């Protein structure tokens, strides 16, 4: 019932929140090693994982979207990935290894042409839908095409932005000719033609839009009531718009074609629409069917963490992980006084990250950030702290900078934030910022807006205020989706949702982004994303505040908890209950 869960339906407050709501995956374990950038993995209950049993999933958000076209996921989601296989998928391993992309329906990660503008995939042999019909490249193409239909909007923007003709194609319901830039020379081959080089294309091919959809079974907006499975489970019950979901084994799924999904339980019973506090209480109590329960959308909050503190048995059932996510203060330099770099720097110095981290739930749930990129290697994390504020802020330095900027008596500014109780853009964080800036002579007035209007304001080029809380999450664990939408001048969207809050349009930055996108060597690309982040950071276009840490409980009978650096939360395809 908390507002943090407002994200439901097609709505997402941030790309990432949707990802988590619809179920990102990862595996968690019983011990928390606290390793940075890594995830602790534990065995959970004793003994090796066995097949069988029913896994209960206790969620706060209903799976209101269960159409592969409309899901916005990082790496295919958690529950959705049990039903939808995609060309590629995330590596279902703990920690850093889990941020790798691996083949799924396809035999490899895709074969690029020389300049990475054309990607060719070959489907594995023996792939079948839940009704036993073989999966062909035409089904994958159709799945992609229907994600362009207005009736099925909601997915990530990459196909529209990258595919040749993607910006004008209106989907198969209106345009019977199909999308010419997706070619299927034979039943097992599919070729994608892109507008420009995209070295990270294999990551995009993990999203549910790359799941096959048989044209004959397509029922448009009603498809989500019973999507046709290509994965280890099929939908046998979908009630109350995704509040109750029962999945059972898909007999036509051949484990020999799928190295990633373990699919131990025979049955998955998703019960959603529950209060978050109740979910955590149920997992902690672990009575009856709750002993074999997990959640794919509810984190432990600070109060629950404090309560678990002294209970070793309970603490052993907490999985910890990190998902690429940054919470920050955004500036709009088009608005005075934030056009003045000295004012932005002063604020950077004044911020007290200890208070902010405490507001976000304390050091176990948030880590102070001075870089825009998350602290995982796959993003190309390169440490920097251009405006060292120390642990609790440097109000004196801030005052001196304000004086230089022409505000010797301090100034008054308004901070836009949301009223959602999500501990990211919420009143708690805003008041922590307000309190710290007050010590540097900056009076902060708070403008708390209901989540939808908050988002519309901060995403508007026209109406965006000068100073607001924002956040960004990774669509896949690499620098590209993290930096490009925020700092690429050509991604300033004047008439829709704009994420380049600083409206930075620097030819040098744009050019470097293009250069890195040409690289198909992802490690080389990561290094350059890191360097670019450090360079942009010097302009004080934002104040990174913290990276969240996800802690989630599992029921006492849950085994094989795997948490990757990709999703930061347990991967439901690996869990066993026996």
Partner 1 sequence: MTAPTDTSAPVAGIPATGAARQLLRRLRGRPAAVVSAGVLLLLVLLALAAPLFAALEGQDPYAYHDDLVDSARGGVPYGSFGGVSADHWLGVEPGTGRDLFARLLHGARVSLLVAVGATAVQVLIGVLVGLAAGLGSRWADGILSRITDVLVALPMLVLAIALTAVVPRDFPRPLLLILVIGLLGWAGTSRIVRAQTLTLKSLDFVAASRLAGSGRWRTARRELLPALAAPVITYAAISVPTNMVVEAALSFLGVGVTPPTPSWGQMLSTAQTWFRADPAYVLLPAGLLFVTVLAFTVLGDAVRTALDPREASRLRVGTRKETSR
Partner 2 sequence: MTRYVLKRLAGAALVLLALSVLVYALFYLAPGDPARLACGERCNPRQIAQVREQLGLNEGVFAQYAHFLQGVFVGRDYSTGTSVVRCDAPCLGLSYQSDQQVTQLVLERLPATASLALGALVVWLVVGVGTGLLSALRRGGPTERILTVLTLAATGTPVFILGLLLLMVVCAYLQWLPFPTYVPLGENPEQWAWNMLLPWLTLGLFESAKYARLTRSSTLETLAEDHIRTFRAYGVGERAVVTRHALRGAVPPVVAVSAVDLGYMFGGAVLTESLFGIPGLGKTLLDGVREIDLPVVVGVVMVMGVAVVLAGVVADLLYAAADRRVVLT
**Contacts with partner 2, residue ranges (CB under 8 A):** 1, 3, 6, 8-15, 18, 64, 70, 72, 146, 149-157, 160, 167, 170-171, 173, 218-222, 240-241, 243, 271, 273-275, 277-278, 281-282, 284-285, 287-288, 290, 449-453, 455-456, 459, 493, 495-497
How far apart are CB 387 and partner 2 at their closest, in Å? 30
| Residue 241 interacts with which of partner 2, partner 1, none, CB < 5 to 8 Å by class | partner 2
Binding site partner of 361, from partner 1, partner 2, none, Cβ cut-off 5-8 A by kind = partner 1
- What is the distance between the alpha carbons of residues 173 and 150, in angstroms, rounded to a whole number? 9
Name the minimum Å distance from CB 470 to partner 2.
13
As measured in angstroms, the least distance from the Cβ of 286 to partner 1 is 16
CA atoms within 13 A on the CB side of 158: 27
Q: Which is nearer to partner 2, 127 or 294 (CB)?
A: 294
- To the nearest whole angstrom, how small is the minimum distance from the Cβ of residue 216 to partner 1? 43
> Which residues would be at the binding site for partner 1 (CB under 8 A)?
3, 277, 301-307, 309, 352, 354-355, 357-359, 361-365, 392, 419-421, 427-428, 430-432, 434-436, 445-450, 453
CB 101 within 8 A of CB 476: yes
Q: Which of 505, 280, 181, 552 is nearest to 513 (CA)?
A: 505
Q: Which does 434 bind (CB under 5 to 8 A by kind): partner 2, partner 1, none?
A: partner 1
Q: Which does 388 bind (CB under 5 to 8 A by kind): partner 2, partner 1, none?
A: none
Closest distance to partner 2 from the beta carbon of 463 (Å)? 11
The nearer residue to partner 1, 311 or 396, going by C-beta atoms, is: 311
Q: Which two tokens stand for residue 19?
A: 């990802």
Whether 73 and 87 have beta carbons less than 8 Å apart is answered as no
Helix 427-438 and helix 341-350, axial crossing angle in degrees, nearest 10: 100
C-alpha–C-alpha distance, residues 345 and 394, integer Å: 11
- Whose Cβ is closer to partner 1: residue 152's or residue 429's? 429
Shorter beta-carbon distance to partner 1: residue 330 or 357: 357
Compare residues 206 and 332 and give the one whose CB is closer to partner 1.
Answer: 332
Nearest-approach distance from CB 449 to partner 1, in angstroms: 7
Shortest Å, Cβ 551 to partner 1:
10
* Pairwise CA distance, residues 181 & 194, whole Å: 7
Q: Which tokens is 501 given?
A: 């809050």
d(CA 487, CA 562): 33
Cα–Cα nearest to 444, from 422, 465, 421: 465
364 binds, among partner 1, partner 2, none (CB under 5 to 8 A by kind): partner 1
By a kind-dependent CB cut-off of 5 to 8 A, residue 154 interacts, out of partner 1, partner 2, none, with partner 2
Give every strand in the sheet of 267-271, ordered side by side.
Answer: 233-239, 244-249, 267-271, 54-58, 293-294
Q: Which does 301 bind (CB under 5 to 8 A by kind): partner 2, partner 1, none?
A: partner 1
What is the CA angle 174-175-181, rounded to 5? 140
Q: Which is nearer to partner 2, 5 or 345 (CB)?
A: 5
341 binds, among partner 1, partner 2, none (CB under 5 to 8 A by kind): none
**In sequence order, which residues have a C-beta less than 8 Å from that of residue 464 and are 6 or more positions away?**
332, 335, 457, 458, 498, 501
Name the residue nearer to partner 1 (CB basis): 96 or 436.
Answer: 436
- Identity of the residue, 3 or 505, whose beta carbon is nearer to partner 2 in the bound complex: 3
Show the 3-state SS of 195-242.
CCCCCCHHHHCCCHHHCCCCHHHCCHHHHHHCCCCCCCEEEEEEECCC
Choice between 228 and 442, CB closer to partner 2: 228
287 binds, among partner 1, partner 2, none (CB under 5 to 8 A by kind): partner 2
User: What angle, rounded to 10 degrees, do the helices at 395-404 and 341-350 form?
Assistant: 170
| Residue 242 neighbours by CB distance under 10 Å | 23
Instruction: List the one residue out of 39, 6, 14 whose CA is nearest residue 561.
Output: 39
Residue 119 or 499 with smaller CB distance to partner 2 = 499
Q: Residue 181: name its binding partner from partner 2, partner 1, none (Cβ under 5 to 8 Å by kind).
A: none
Instruction: Show Cβ contacts of residue 249 under 8 Å, excluding neighbours closer than 6 positions.
Output: 232, 233, 234, 263, 266, 267
For residues 270 and 63, the answer to whether their CB atoms sit within 8 Å is: yes
- Burial state string for 4-36 with b = 16 or more CB within 10 A and e = fewer than 16: bbbbbbbbbbbbbbbbbbbbbbbbbbbebeeee
Minimum Å distance from CB 1 to partner 2?
A: 3
CB of 346 to partner 2, least distance (A): 31
CA proximity to 61, closest of 276, 224, 323: 276
Q: Nearest 5°: phi and psi at 380?
A: 85, 25
Cβ-based nearer residue to partner 2, 16 or 360: 16
Q: Give least dist CB 574 to partner 2, A.
A: 25
Tell me which of partner 1, partner 2, none is bound by residue 304, counting a contact when its beta carbon lies within the kind-specific cut-off of 5 to 8 angstroms: partner 1
Closer residue to partner 2, CB minimum distance, 135 or 213: 213
The entry of partner 1, partner 2, none that residue 359 binds, CB within 5 to 8 Å by partner kind: partner 1
Total Cβ atoms within 10 A of residue 410? 16
């Amino acid at each position: 019932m908390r507002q943090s869960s407002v994200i439901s339906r097609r709505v997402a407050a941030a790309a990432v929140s949707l990802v988590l709501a619809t179920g990102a995956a990862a595996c968690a374990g019983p011990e928390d090693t606290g390793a940075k950038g890594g995830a602790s993995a534990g065995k959970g209950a004793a003994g090796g994982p066995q097949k069988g049993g029913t896994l209960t999933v206790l969620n706060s958000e209903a799976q209101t979207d269960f159409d592969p076209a409309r899901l916005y996921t990082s790496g295919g989601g958690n529950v959705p990935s049990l039903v939808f296989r995609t060309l590629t998928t995330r590596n279902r391993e703990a920690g850093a290894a889990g941020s790798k992309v691996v083949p799924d329906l396809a035999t490899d990660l895709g074969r690029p042409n020389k300049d990475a503008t054309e990607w060719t995939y070959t489907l594995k042999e023996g792939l079948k839908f839940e009704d036993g019909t073989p999966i062909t490249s035409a089904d994958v193409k159709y799945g992609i095409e229907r994600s362009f239909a207005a009736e099925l909007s909601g997915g990530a923007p990459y196909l529209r932005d990258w595919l040749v003709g993607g910006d004008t194609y209106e989907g198969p319901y209106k345009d019977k000719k199909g999308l010419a830039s997706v070619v299927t020379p034979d039943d097992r081959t599919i070729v994608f033609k892109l507008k420009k080089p995209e070295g990270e294309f294999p990551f995009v091919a993990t999203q549910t839009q790359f799941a096959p959809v048989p044209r004959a079974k397509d029922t448009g907006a009603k498809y989500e009531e019973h999507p046709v499975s290509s994965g280890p489970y099929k939908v046998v019950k979908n009630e109350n718009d995704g509040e109750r979901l029962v999945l059972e084994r898909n007999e036509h799924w051949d484990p020999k074609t799928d190295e990633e999904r373990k699919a131990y339980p025979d049955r998955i019973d998703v019960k959603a629409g529950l209060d978050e506090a109740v979910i955590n209480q149920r997992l902690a109590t672990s009575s009856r069917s709750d002993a074999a329960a997990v959640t794919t959308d509810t984190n432990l909050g600070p109060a629950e963490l404090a309560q678990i503190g002294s209970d070793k048995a309970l603490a052993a059932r907490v999985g910890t992980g990190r998902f690429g996510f940054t919470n920050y203060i955004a500036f709009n330099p088009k608005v005075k006084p934030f056009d003045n770099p000295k004012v932005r720097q002063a604020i950077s110095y004044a911020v007290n990250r200890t208070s902010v981290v405490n507001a976000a739930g304390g050091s176990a749930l948030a880590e102070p950030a001075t870089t825009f990129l998350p602290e995982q290697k796959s993003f190309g994390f390169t440490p920097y702290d251009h405006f060292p504020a120390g642990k609790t802020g440097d109000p004196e330095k801030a005052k001196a900078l304000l004086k230089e900027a022409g505000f010797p008596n301090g100034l008054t500014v308004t901070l836009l934030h949301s009223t959602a109780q999500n501990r990211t853009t919420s009143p708690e964080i805003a008041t922590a910022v307000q309190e710290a800036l007050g010590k540097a002579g900056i009076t902060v007035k708070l403008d708390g807006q209901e989540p939808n209007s908050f988002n519309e304001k901060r995403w508007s080029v026209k109406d965006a205020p000068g100073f607001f809380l924002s956040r960004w999450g990774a669509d896949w664990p690499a620098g590209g989706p993290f930096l490009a939408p925020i700092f690429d001048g050509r991604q300033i969207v004047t008439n829709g949702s704009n994420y380049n809050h600083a409206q930075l349009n620097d030819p040098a930055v744009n050019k470097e982004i293009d250069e890195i996108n040409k690289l198909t060597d992802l490690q080389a690309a990561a290094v350059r994303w890191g360097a670019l982040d450090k360079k942009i950071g010097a302009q004080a276009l934002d104040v990174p505040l913290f990276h969240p840490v996800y802690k989630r409980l599992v029921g006492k009978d849950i085994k094989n908890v795997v948490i990757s650096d990709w999703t930061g939360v347990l991967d439901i395809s690996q869990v066993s209950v026996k």
